[in-house]
Each structure stands twice: as structure tokens, then as C-alpha cells.
Amino acid sequence: MTASGLIALAAALCMAISTLGPAIGQGLTASKAMDAIARQPEASGDIRSTLILSLGLMEALTIYGLLIAFMLISKI
């Protein structure tokens, strides 16, 4: 396998792994937030704002993976 093939494989793995973790985390976070809102509807505003902040931070992890994949692809 050539060096460019290995770099392309590394970029693909980088994107796959960097999206897998945050996707699972976002699903679990949203599920727990909906459970919390169902139990305490009066706290929905606080729960929703915390949920949006945490989802944004999780999404940043995926964007970092995308950035690293672009940097790897630029080496080909």
C-alpha cells in the first residue's frame, strides 16, 4: 500500500472514530434531558439551555476530527 493510500485510510478512520463517540454521547444526553424534562417540567428552561451547550461542545469534537481529516487529505 502506498503512502497516499495509508493517509486516505487514516483520514477515513479519523472521521469515523471522531463521529462515533459524539454521536453516542449526543443520543444519550438528549435522552436523559428528555427524561429530566418529563420528570420536572418546571425546570425545562434550565435543562434545555444546558443541553444545547453540551451538544455544542460534543459537536466541536466532531469538527476537530474533520479538521484533522482535512489536514491528512492535504498531505496526499
CATH number at residue 25: 1.20.20.10
Residue 65 placed within a domain: yes
Residue 50 placed within a domain: yes
Whether the CB-CB separation of 47 and 36 falls below 8 Å is answered with: yes
Does 26 have pLDDT greater than 80? yes
Residue 48 placed within a domain: yes
- Counted domains in the chain: 1
Mean local confidence (pLDDT), 25-40: 95
Residue 13 placed within a domain: no
Q: Grid coordinates standing for 31? A: 435522552
Whether the CB-CB separation of 72 and 10 falls below 8 Å is answered with: yes
In the chain, % of residues over pLDDT 70: 100
